[in-house]
């Protein structure tokens, strides 16, 4: 993950208000393109005659023109027509952030996030590092809106169940039940991304509590009912894997050694 500075400079003082609106519009488009992580949390401030945004992006080269979606390119063109110049500058690597996947040709991917993560919600199945969304062929809608909305919903559920006060059971069920709305939307995203990338895309089902270690080892895939327990956990997290249903899960946390 890298910290970037985006400067929005306007050619006329009377355009300052429009420049602020333009900055918000462009940051939203960059997020939907997978170039910016959590644009809504990025501070935007006035510095001299320019607006400046400090953002997190997956990589140092995340804002290369060839990675811009049609929407981002269109908005930049509209800004240029108004006399607004946009400059992208990589500041430094985020000291608390993760590296991104460097695998040449991953064998597959998993849709995965949690309440602490601001990284892209796709992980390489081989190295388990985040994969920038813009590495995938663009979705039919032209951006990754559905994936990013799922990420926001999942993180909200995870935060509520971790806080253990409001809606703990309901949000845990959303993350654990293969038939929940959250899981259905997530699996739909996996299906689309798999068809676009040509690589297997797995969905992670959170497992909070189990009755006993013996029953945990014996539990079957909740979608097809077939055995899916792994003798050796994948990335020390996934103790269950169903290739047919593209599902992954963990050993119940309350029974973990």
Position 11 pLDDT exceeds 90:
no
The DSSP code sequence of 100-130 is PP--SS-S-EEE---TT--S-SEEETTT--B
* Banded model confidence at residue 137, pLDDT cuts 50, 70, 90: confident
Residues 76-125: tens digit of each pLDDT: 999 999 899 999 999 999 988 889 999 999 999 999 999 999 999 999 99
pLDDT, tens digit, for every residue of 219-253? Answer: 999 999 999 999 999 999 999 999 999 999 999 99
Rounded Cα distance, 136 and 113, in Å? 18
> What distance lies between CA 234 and its chain's CA centroid?
20
32, 145 Cβ separation under 8 angstroms: yes
- Is the pLDDT at 141 greater than 80? The verdict is no
Q: What is the pLDDT of residue 42?
A: 83
| Model confidence at 202: pLDDT above 90 | yes
Q: Provide mean pLDDT across the span 179-202.
A: 97
| pLDDT tens string 26-69 | 999 999 999 999 867 788 999 888 999 999 999 999 999 999 98
Note the pLDDT of residue 97.
83
Judged against a pLDDT cut of 70, whether residue 254 lies above it is answered with yes
Q: Is the pLDDT of residue 255 over 70?
A: yes
The closest alpha carbon to 33, from 92, 86, 74, belongs to 74
Q: What is the mean pLDDT of the chain?
A: 93
pLDDT value at position 18? Answer: 87
Among candidates 18, 92, 91, 2, which has minimal Cα distance to 51? 18
């Amino acid at each position: 993950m890298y910290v970037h500075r985006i400067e929005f400079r306007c050619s006329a003082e009377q355009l300052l208000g429009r420049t602020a609106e333009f900055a918000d519009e462009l940051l939203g488009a960059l997020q939907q393109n997978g170039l910016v992580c959590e644009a809504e949390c990025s501070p935007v401030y006035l510095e001299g005659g320019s607006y400046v945004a400090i953002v997190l992006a997956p990589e140092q080269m995340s804002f290369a023109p060839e990675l811009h979606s049609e929407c981002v390119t269109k908005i930049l063109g509209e800004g240029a027509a108004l006399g607004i110049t946009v400059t992208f500058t990589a500041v430094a690597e985020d000291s608390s952030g993760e590296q991104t996947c460097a695998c040449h040709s991953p064998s597959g991917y998993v849709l995965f996030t949690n309440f602490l993560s601001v990284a892209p919600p796709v992980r390489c199945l081989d190295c388990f590092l985040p994969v920038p969304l813009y590495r995938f062929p663009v979705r039919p809608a032209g951006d990754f809106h559905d994936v990013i909305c799922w990420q926001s919903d999942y993180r909200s559920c995870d935060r509520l169940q971790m806080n253990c006060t409001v809606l703990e059971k309901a949000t845990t069920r959303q993350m654990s039940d293969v038939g929940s709305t959250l899981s259905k939307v997530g699996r739909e995203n996996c299906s689309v991304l798999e068809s676009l990338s040509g690589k297997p895309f797995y969905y992670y089902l959170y497992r909070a509590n189990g009755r006993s270690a013996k029953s945990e080892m014996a539990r079957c895939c909740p979608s097809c009912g077939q055995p899916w327990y792994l003798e050796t956990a994948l990335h020390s997290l996934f103790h269950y894997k169903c290739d047919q249903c593209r599902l992954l899960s963990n050993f119940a946390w309350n029974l973990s050694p």
